[in-house]
Structure 1
Amino acid sequence: MKLATWNVNSLKVRLPQVLQWLQDNPVDVLCLQELKLDQDKFPQEEIEAAGYRAAWLGQKTYNGVAILVRSPLTLSDVVSGIPGYDDVQRRVITATVGGVRVMCAYFVNGEAVDSEKYPYKLAWLAALEGYVASEVAAHTDFALLGDYNIAPDDRDVYDPEAWQGKVLCSEPERAAFFRLIALGLSDSFRLFNQDDKQYSWWDYRAMMFRRNLGVRIDHILISDSLKARALACDIDKVPRKWERPSDHTPVVLTLAAE
């Protein structure tokens, strides 16, 4: 079973790339972030023609998340948003797929530590932590995939000194990430790759991708039962080389069959 996450930075713009990537990489589950589409504008017909079913939570201009599953897999027990947390921003969708509880999340960016959006990020992280805790307690096989907008440690940024204390790398954000880990989850990428300079996002400006000056902010956290089945976790840089790419690239987890 293969699960992947990809912030596509507008599904309307990137739909041909998503379809091409799925053709080249027929993963079982693909979690998408930043759809930037209204709920009724989701390209359901095109996705289904590619052999996938979907559950999605759309929002015009900003945000939006979706879980795509390859037939004959199905989605059940779909939950939109964080239960009990009143949020106009559509950032989380959860479903059970093939016995695995899959949560797709587009974490708040926060803009800057002195921005009014930063306290919102910390409050949102606290709400998400409570939700994840309840889901981990209820589901042995659990995976949290998405754009976390958090680089967990200095290996995950191209210039740790320049990024020190800034949004994505501030101590409160990193502490929130490790509180998720403490719920019984593992960073699946770091189960296999301990190297630095492994990134999933690169700014469009200043040839940052070509120079490999990026950050690793797209993650797949998994429960212990899935950790025991994990065979590989890779960052696929190929789509970042395409014309008009997303500034993010997919992260793919491979699990052994039960």
Structure 2
Amino acid sequence: MRIASFNINGIKARLPRLKEWLEETRPTVACLQEVKSMDEGFPAEEFESIGYKAIWHGQKSFNGVAILADGFEPVEIRRGLEGEPEDDHARYLEADVNGVRVASIYLPNGNPQPGPKFDYKLRWMERLRKRAAEIWAEEVPAALVGDFNVIPEDKDVWSPKAMADDALMQPASRDAYRRMLNDGWTDAIDTLNPRGGVWTFWDYQAGAWQRDHGFRIDHLLLSPALADRLEAAGVDKERRGREKASDHAPVWVQVRD
């Protein structure tokens, strides 16, 4: 079973690239972020035409998450996180797919920091940790995947100095991420690439892709039941170099059935 995550950065603008990736790699589950489409505009029929069923949580012009499943109907469990009733951002979607609990996550960026956007990011991470604990208590095989907007360690960025003031690298962001790992979740890519140097994002600006000035912010966190089945994990890096590509590359984890 292959579980993948792809911050598509606008599903309508990237639809050809997205379908191309799905058809060429056939992940069992594909979690999308930054769909940037209202619910009624989500192109579900495009995915059905190539064998994928979909659920989605949309929002006009920004945010938006979705879960696609190859030959399975995702059974929605939750959309959005509890804790802030006034928070209407479409950033979290959770479903059961073929015996695995999967969550598609688009964590707040938090810039500029310090300030209200960074405070919101930290509150959101604490709300996510609380939901993760509830999933943990159910003792189901689970994967929390998506764009976490956190660079966990210096080894996960091309230049720690260049990103030192960014919300993605602040000690509070890293601590919040580390607390989830300390709760028992396994960072699949880091586990199989302990030396780092694996990027999932390259900015459109300043020739970042051409110079390989990237960093790792797209993560795949596995519960113990799923981590025990871990076979491989990686980044489809070459997708970032294609025409009209997202600024993120897809990430994926392979687990035994």
TM-score, with structure 2 as normaliser: 0.97
What is the 5 A alignment of 1:1-258? 1-71=1-71, 73-86=72-85, 87-257=87-257
Over the matched positions of the two proteins, sequence identity in percent amounts to: 38
Q: Output the CA distance in 2 between the equivalents of 1:56 and 1:138.
A: 24
Superposition deviation, residue 47 in structure 1: 0.9
Q: Which SS does the other structure have where 1:244 is aligned?
A: coil
Q: Output the CA distance in 1 between the equivalents of 2:94 and 2:139.
A: 12
Superposition deviation, residue 89 in structure 1: 0.6
Gaps of 5+ in 1: none
Q: Output the CA distance in 2 between the equivalents of 1:53 and 1:154.
A: 38
Superposition deviation, residue 84 in structure 1: 4.3
Superposition deviation, residue 82 in structure 1: 0.9
Q: Which SS does the other structure have where 2:215 is aligned?
A: coil
* Conserved 8 A contact 1:65-1:92: yes
Superposition deviation, residue 143 in structure 1: 0.6
* Conserved 8 A contact 2:111-2:166: no
Change beyond 3 A, Cα 1:137–1:165: farther
* Conserved 8 A contact 1:197-1:212: no
Q: Considering only aligned residues, what root-mean-square deviation do their CA atoms show, in Å?
A: 1.1
Partner amino acid, structure 2, of 1:192: L
Gaps of 5+ in 2: none
Q: Output the CA distance in 2 between the equivalents of 1:209 and 1:175.
A: 28
Q: Which SS does the other structure have where 2:109 is aligned?
A: coil
1:3-47 per-position Cα deviation (integer Å, ceiling 9, x unaligned): 000100000101111100011000100000000000100001111
Q: Which SS does the other structure have where 1:6 is aligned?
A: strand
Q: Which SS does the other structure have where 2:169 is aligned?
A: coil
Bigger mean CA deviation after superposition, 126-135 or 77-86:
77-86
Superposition deviation, residue 77 in structure 1: 4.0
Q: Output the CA distance in 1 between the equivalents of 2:115 and 2:162.
A: 18
Give the length in aligned residue pairs.
256
